[in-house]
Amino acid sequence: MEIDVKKEGQAVIIALTGRMDAVSAPQFDKTVDDFIEQGETRIIIDFKSLEYISSAGLQSILALAKRLELINGTVLLSDLNGAVKEVFEISGFSSIFPIYDNLDAARASI
């Protein structure tokens, strides 16, 4: 999985490409941990180029949300499609997280 990170305004945008599974989820965890330690509390995850997410990936997203909740932060998700969107719907995660159709809509909500 590739992780592209950029700071825009009040949010950190994390764009994921490829597959988020048990092998790559720890890399994601480390990336978000570094930003939280730097004081970032608003994170947008862009799933536009993510092809697959496993239960390990879902666990990483949930752990991030719980960690941000403790510091009054938020995680927003954008551009879910295909198999990734289906996994979020089947798992019930689509009712837990704010999900936006595109990155612009997620940015506007911050």
Query: Each residue of 23-50: pLDDT tens digit?
Result: 999 999 999 999 999 999 999 999 999 9
Strand partners, 102: none
Domain annotation for the chain: domains and CATH numbers? 2-105 (3.30.750.24)
Report yes or no on whether pTM surpasses 0.85.
Answer: yes
Q: Which amino acid is at 104?
A: D
Nearest C-alpha neighbor of 36 from the set 66, 79, 15: 66
pLDDT above 90 (res 110): no
Q: CA 78, 36, 66: angle at the middle one, nearest 5?
A: 65
Residue 23 main-chain phi, psi, to 5 deg: -80, -40
